[in-house]
Structure 1
Amino acid sequence: MFVPRSLKIKRHANGDGKSCVAKIIKSDPEDLQLDKSRDAPVDALVTEAATTPDRHSSESCPFPSPGGQLAEVHSVSPEQGVKDSHPSEEPVKSFSKTQRWAESGEPVCVVCGRYGEYICDKTDEDVCSLECKAKHLLQVKEKEEKSKLSNPQKADSEPESPLNASYVYKEHPFILNLQEDQIENLKRQLGILVQGQEVTRPIIDFEHCSFPEVLNHNLKKSGYEVPTPIQMQMIPVGLLGRDILASADTGSGKTAAFLLPVIMRALFESKTPSALILTPTRELAIQIERQAKELMSGLPRMKTVLLVGGLPLPPQLYRLQQQVKDKKLFKPPVLVFVDCKLGADLLSEAVQKITGLKSISIHSEKSQIERKNILKGLLEGDYEVVVSTGVLGRGLDLISVRLVVNFDMPSSMDEYVHQVGRVGRLGQNGTAITFINNNSKRLFWDIAKRVKPTGSILPPQLLNSPYLHDQKRKEQQKDKQTQNDLVTGANLMDIIRKHDKSNSQK
């Protein structure tokens, strides 16, 4: 099933100078129906789940470093900063009554429950119209005022001090005055192991970093009282802009250990985005962004963009600033393999005509420039279906592809493995669907042996095929004969007698 493609565009209402972000959703056909008919009498469908395991090893946090130095401590993963703006389009809806009700799976207005077509640019919440946006902002203001009235000391304690024009990490006088043996004893007691040249000393307190008051306040608000060992060593190294490869146990504070240097370096960066954080899983990305928002609260010009698979695109796309062109945000294309060039052209044309999906064929008769452009378009999301002969079956890391269809079963198991291997790469999950018939009967038993251990679906037409059972029987007989030819203590005398009898007949 294909996920509907979504897009968010910045809108400006007529005359009020305020803005929301509009979401335009274009539905695509849910399924790509491929003709699996063949002339031969036996038709079957094989579905194989192709996947490689996620990598949950230690994550890295790179910074440009002078001299290529490396500090090894205990580390973590990623995220990204941005701002939102888009050219004006058609005006947003003024009143909620003119908005339709939300359908299943669509964003819902936080005020009235209708279709949340827009995003309030001040709160990032879904609203259906300017009317509901105004109500929503009023509710937020009232909530803030009630919070201040209920806890005036907390409100008064929130810092409002301006930031300095620049920031350069310098070791705190307390750290500088410690003797070298004291530092080594501290590392030994905390279990800090460091490799690298001229690695800066660990901090003892967050105040040793001279963070802005806003950031110090956010740290205390988030429950960070004193740094953990990984934070003690990694934060000052990161603040100096050195490359870091770090490792630490779960729950040891790795996220803040790399987020704090990232935030400080991004805070005084003029170009955006100024940081990119990559994670191996969707859940970790969501968790890191949530923590980044807590630490960045109140800091000027600081925004995050969360880009993950499996969640609706509109809430993600609108946050991308205008000059950020992330062409990886598209519905994963389908890669279809056929056995001949004419078949590729005909099937590609039929798919586009019947389903409306943007499809193209690629094979050896197309020029090198054409093939290069098609491959580029596949990687950048210009095509929804690419029908190929074996030219795309080997060597390419097509990480955007999540579904491979063997419309024609390859002539060998080696080629089959390469083609279905276009999915499930670099820790990603994928699915391979293969159509087979009697034209592939010599491979029936090999297919069953290859696919069955994965837990994938094997159709009864294949399992009950006489060709499969005949191949299985021959293989078992061959294995038995091979075992009989082996010399063991049990059959040694039989082998000697056969040998003597054969010689006597000669």
Structure 2
Amino acid sequence: MFVPRSLKIKRNANDDIKSCVAKKIKPEAEDLHLDKGRDVDALVSKETTAPDRPRSESGSFPSPAGQLAEAGLVGPEQGAEEPVKSFSKTQRWAEPGEPVCVVCGRYGEYICDKTDEDVCSLECKAKHLLQVKEKDEKLKLSSRQKAGSEPEPSPLDDVYVYKEHPFILNLQEDQIENLKQQLGILVQGQEVTRPIIDFEHCGFPEALNNNLKKSGYEVPTPIQMQMIPVGLLGRDILASADTGSGKTAAFLLPVIIRALFERKTPSALVLTPTRELAIQIERQAKELMSGLPRMKTVLLVGGLPLPPQLYRLRQHVKVIIATPGRLLDIIKQNSVALGGIKIVVVDEADTMLKMGFQQQVLDILENIPNDCQTILVSATIPASIEQLASQLLHNPVRVIAGEKNLPCANVRQIILWVEDPAKKKKLFEILNDKKLFKPPVLVFVDCRLGADLLSEAVQKVTGLKSTSIHSEKSQMERKNILKV
């Protein structure tokens, strides 16, 4: 039985200095030096607590929506408060899968709110901020030397407007149609812009172009070629493509550009059916946002503690990545205002409907302005998705890459008819056959207990390394299993 974790936050009302934060909550840091006689404000440590323990400590974080997250969540014993670690030598070494301090490599128990990097102590936080300051000064000096007497340009224009690249404009209409036909791109809609052939054709900021290259995006995939320019123009989209076709980047790039030039926060929302997918999307979004000013994300999913998510939500985040259930709970608590949202993405819409999230999605979208851009992304487009699209989308562009409503063409599917008592035996035969068995292998079962028992049986009978993953395992266990 797992006991849910919570946070214990220490606050000194007589001190205005904001320092390191625990992994869960990140108050602002103001001072780069460590003084012996200086108290630390907003110190956070992780503790185990009873799930329904009332929270009544005096210190609390300011909340624009009725002080929803209290500053003190204490353990069942109301024990002594654990201070933030001052020196790196007092911090333990990180275990596999845990965050690592960017300075010394020990356990990164805290987050520096200035840089979002993991640090292990006040000492390493100060060192890290000094390193960042020195690096920034070197970059500024270098840029001044290169520019000479020219004034430094502003990092971003006030507004981004997508314009077709001259190379794309010069292509003949029959060339465009041949390109779509060869790549399997089907487009339906009024006045649809032409597809791009290179990411450079989008006119992205230089930092975003560099992030694309660092992340391995060299040439856009078919779905990206058509979906990105349509999304950049602010059109509603119903998109369908095979798994692994690059749909995530196809909607993330319009999301990033839209959020980048919006002043209100939050300004973009991505809904996904599962927490694992949400974590994956946020990781990819952070890679693409690296170096872009004022771009922060928040992950709102079940299975992880709520207080740090609420705190992060108040840090002027631009992009929300959430599962419907957790976001709806937060909306009902009046802990988030979605009036500034300009673009919404519903990812894996077909899976969302299969899992029964349609009403939750509709309830969430009722809190979003009517003029918001909406993108529905799905592996297939069954009748239920068509119906949902008719409710949510206005004058949409339909973009389909690959065969409509067919499973992924890269997966070979074989059906074997096996009597129920012989299922395990047949599975063991396949796993022992060197011609058929190519690890890793994923086996689905209909219950959690069945997953555990089958995993043990496979390991015992075949000698192969096997493990089970299901909803009764903690999020940390699941992440570690997927890494292995």
Task: Give the structure-2-normalised TM-score.
Answer: 0.46
* Bigger radius of gyration: 1
**TM-score where L is the length of structure 1:** 0.44
Greater relative CO, 1 or 2 (CA 8 Å, sep 6+): 1
